[in-house]
């Protein structure tokens, strides 16, 4: 049951991260609705550097964000399947998914929209329940 909860939580991150990456690279679904804004982003340089535009930074930040969620999932799913004793034997690997998902949940609540919030909320609940079961000996009394 604990392994399944962790796998489900991580799989949600894999799905959300993959969809996000596909949207940012292959569609305009994460572009501004106002074409003038998109055009301005493509022409505007950052204050930090002249080496990139706001648009390229936007695509890069979104892509790296997606890759982070996918990387997390692609570490935890096989870790949970093939080396569950690592998760089971350390508080770090038990509680890291909780901390990771709660950070994403905060971002989803205050900066994103309903679909990622609901997905991340479900993943977070899976991780919290699994961590509590591991920490408190499989009981939630």
The domain segmentation of the chain, as residue ranges, is 2-135
Count other Cβ atoms within 10 Å, centred on residue 116: 21
Q: How confident is the model at residue 138 (pLDDT cuts 50, 70, 90)?
A: low
Q: Hey, which bits of the chain come out as E strands?
A: none
CA atoms within 13 A on the CB side of 64: 5
Burial of residue 34 (number of CB atoms within 10 Å: 0-12, 13-18, 19+): exposed
Query: For the segment 28-63, what is each residue's pLDDT rounded down to a tens digit?
Result: 999 999 999 999 999 999 999 999 999 999 999 999
Q: How confident is the model at residue 77 (pLDDT cuts 50, 70, 90)?
A: very high
pLDDT of residue 42: 96
Judge whether residue 141 has pLDDT over 50: no
């Amino acid at each position: 049951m604990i392994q399944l909860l962790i796998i489900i939580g991580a799989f949600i991150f894999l799905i959300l991260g993959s969809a996000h990456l596909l949207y940012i690279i292959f569609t305009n679904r994460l572009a501004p609705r106002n074409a003038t804004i998109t055009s301005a982003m493509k022409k505007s340089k950052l204050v930090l550097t002249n080496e990139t535009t706001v648009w390229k930074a936007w695509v890069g930040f979104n892509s790296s964000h997606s890759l982070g969620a996918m990387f997390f999932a692609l570490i935890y799913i096989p870790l949970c399947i093939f080396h569950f004793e690592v998760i089971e034997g350390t508080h770090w690997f038990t509680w890291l998914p909780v901390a990771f998902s709660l950070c994403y949940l905060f971002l989803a609540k205050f900066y994103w929209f309903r679909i990622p919030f609901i997905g991340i909320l479900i993943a977070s609940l899976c991780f919290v329940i699994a961590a509590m079961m591991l920490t408190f000996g499989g009981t939630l009394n």
